[in-house]
C-alpha cells in the first residue's frame, strides 16, 4: 500500500479451513468474493530474485525441451507481470497470450514483446484459448474458490483439441500443514491442494494427468495433463491429508507462540529485527502473531514494493541498501530458499546480522 494509513485500513477476511474427507481438498469456507481485488496495484512478482529468476528460466527451458514447445501458441491464465510467458516464448520462439488483471505494461524485453499479447482481464471460457497448443496456469488456481467449475470451463474451451498440453503450478499444502507454516495460509488463497487431490480434480474434469511432482525446494506442485474423453479417476484415500490437517490444527498455535516469544526477547534486549520478503507470506506472518510491531521495517529487493507499506500492520518496505543506515541485529528470512542469496547481499553491504528463517 502506498500510504501507511491505507495499509492499516486495508480490509481483512476470516479463515475457516475445511478438508474434504473424500479427496483431501482444502478450502476456506469463510471466503467471500469481492472482499479483495486483483489489479495492476497487486505486486506479486518474484522475478527480481536471482534465485527465482534462474529457476523460472530453467523451468521454461525444460518444458520447451521435454515437450517440444517450439513455434507454437502458448496461453497463460493468470500470467501476472508476464515473466514466465516471456521466458517460454523466448526459449521456444513461441507466440504468447496472457490473461491477468494485475498485468503492468512496459516490463518486458523489447525483443520479445512483439510475440506477446497481454490482456489485463480475468480469463473464462468465453475468451477461448487462442488455438494454443500449450496452456499454463501458475499460482492462480489457489485463488479460485470454484476450482471444479474453472477446470470444466477450461476443458470446454479446449474442446476436441486433445493434443493440447496443460501445465499447472500451485503451492503444496502438505508441506504447509506438516511444518505448521501458518504464514503460508492466507485469505487470498481459498483453495489448497496436495498432489493427490490436485490429480483427482483434473481427472474428474476431463484430463489425463501425465506428471504431478514437487519442485522449488518441494514448495510447489507441478502438474502436466492432456484432455481426454473418459479419464480414469483413481481411488483416493485422503488419510494423509486428514492426518496432516489434524496436525496443523493441533500445533500451529505452538509455532505462533514460538515466534511471539522470539520477537519479545529481541524487543526486551532492544535488538532491531527486520523481515526480509514483502509478499503474502510476510503479510500472513505479521498479521497472525502478537508482537509483530517489534518488526519496524520489511526488506524487499523488488523496487516496485519499496516505499510501500505492509497491508494490515503498516511496516515500511525498504531496499536492502537502506539497512546500512540502521543495521539490524536480526534478519528473519520469510522463505528459506532465499537464505543464501540474502546472506550474500548482506555480506556485500558489510553487514553480518543474525539470520533466521521462518520454519516450523
Do 4-240 and 259-357 fold alike per CATH?
yes
Query: In sequence order, what DSSP letters do the residues of 264-302 get, joined into one string?
Result: HHHHHTT--EEEE--SHHHHHHHHHSTTGGGEEEEE-S-
Half-sphere exposure of 96 (CA within 13 A, CB side): 29
Which grid coordinates are listed for 259?
515466534
**What does the pLDDT read at residue 33?**
83
Q: Say whether pLDDT at 112 is over 80.
A: no
C-alpha cell, 167 = 501445465
pLDDT tens-place string over residues 10-52: 988 999 999 999 999 999 999 998 776 665 567 678 889 999 9
CB half-sphere exposure, 223, CA atoms < 13 A: 27
For CA atoms 42, 8, 146, 207, give the dihedral sign.
positive
Alpha helices in the chain (DSSP H): 4-8, 50-67, 83-92, 147-158, 173-179, 195-204, 239-268, 280-288, 339-348
Cβ partners under 8 Å of residue 295, min gap 6? 263, 273, 274, 275, 286, 315, 332
198: left (phi over 0), alpha (psi -120 to 50) or beta: alpha
Query: Does the pTM of the predicted model rise above 0.85?
Result: yes
Cβ-proximal residues to 301 (8 Å cutoff; 6+ apart), any chain: 48, 49, 319, 320, 345
Note whether 47 and 67 are within 8 A (CB).
Answer: no
Contact assessment for residue 211 and residue 303, using Cβ atoms and an 8 Å cutoff: no
> What mean pLDDT do residues 210-234 have?
92
- β-bridge mates for residue 225, sequence order: 166, 209
Round to whole Å and give the CA distance between 89 and 95: 6
What pLDDT does residue 86 have?
Answer: 96
Mean pLDDT of 229-237: 76
- The average pLDDT across 76-88 equals 96
Question: Domain map of the chain by residue range?
Answer: 4-240, 259-357
**Does the domain at residues 4-240 carry the CATH identifier 3.30.1330.10?**
no
pLDDT for the residue 297: 97
pLDDT at 235: 72
Is the pLDDT at 118 greater than 80? The verdict is yes
CATH of domain 259-357: 3.40.50.720
> What does DSSP assign to residue 259?
H
Query: Edge-to-edge, what's the strand order for the sheet holding 330-333?
Result: 316-318, 295-299, 273-276, 330-333, 354-357
Amino acid at each position: 500500500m502506498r500510504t501507511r494509513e491505507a495499509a492499516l485500513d486495508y480490509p481483512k477476511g476470516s479463515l475457516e479451513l475445511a478438508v474434504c474427507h473424500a479427496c483431501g481438498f482444502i478450502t476456506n469456507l469463510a471466503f467471500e468474493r469481492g472482499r479483495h481485488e486483483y489489479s495492476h496495484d497487486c505486486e506479486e512478482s518474484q522475478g527480481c530474485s536471482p534465485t527465482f529468476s534462474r529457476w523460472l528460466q530453467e523451468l521454461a527451458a525444460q518444458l520447451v525441451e521435454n515437450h517440444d514447445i517450439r513455434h507454437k501458441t502458448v496461453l497463460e491464465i493468470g500470467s501476472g507481470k508476464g515473466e514466465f510467458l516471456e521466458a517460454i516464448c523466448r526459449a521456444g520462439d513461441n507466440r504468447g497470450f496472457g490473461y491477468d488483471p494485475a498485468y503492468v505494461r512496459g516490463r518486458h524485453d523489447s525483443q520479445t514483446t512483439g510475440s506477446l499479447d497481454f490482456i489485463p482481464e480475468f480469463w473464462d471460457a468465453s475468451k477461448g484459448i487462442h488455438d494454443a497448443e500449450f496452456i499454463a496456469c501458475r499460482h492462480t488456481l489457489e485463488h479460485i474458490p470454484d476450482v471444479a467449475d474453472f477446470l470444466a470451463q477450461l476443458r470446454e474451451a479446449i474442446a476436441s483439441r486433445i493434443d493440447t498440453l496443460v501445465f499447472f503450478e500451485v503451492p503444496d499444502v502438505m508441506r504447509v500443514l506438516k511444518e505448521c507454516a501458518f504464514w503460508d495460509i492466507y485469505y487470498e488463497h481459498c483453495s489448497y491442494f496436495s498432489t493427490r487431490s490436485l490429480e483427482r480434480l483434473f481427472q474428474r474434469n476431463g484430463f489425463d494427468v501425465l506428471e504431478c511432482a514437487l519442485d522449488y525446494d518441494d514448495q510447489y506442485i507441478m502438474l502436466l495433463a492432456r484432455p481426454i474423453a473418459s479419464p480414469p479417476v483413481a481411488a483416493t484415500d485422503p488419510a494423509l491429508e486428514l492426518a496432516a490437517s489434524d496436525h496443523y490444527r493441533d500445533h500451529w498455535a505452538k509455532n505462533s507462540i514460538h515466534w511471539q516469544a522470539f520477537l519479545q526477547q529481541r524487543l526486551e534486549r532492544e535488538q532491531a529485527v527486520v523481515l526480509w520478503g514483502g509478499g503474502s507470506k510476510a503479510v500472513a506472518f505479521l498479521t497472525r502473531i502478537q508482537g509483530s510491531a517489534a518488526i519496524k521495517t520489511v526488506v524487499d529487493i523488488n523496487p516496485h514494493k519499496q516505499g510501500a507499506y505492509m497491508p494490515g500492520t503498516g511496516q515500511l518496505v525498504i531496499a536492502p541498501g537502506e539497512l546500512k543506515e540502521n543495521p539490524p541485529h536480526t534478519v528473519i528470512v520469510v522463505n528459506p530458499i532465499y537464505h543464501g542469496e540474502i546472506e550474500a547481499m548482506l555480506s556485500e553491504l558489510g553487514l553480518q546480522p543474525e539470520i533466521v528463517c521462518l520454519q516450523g
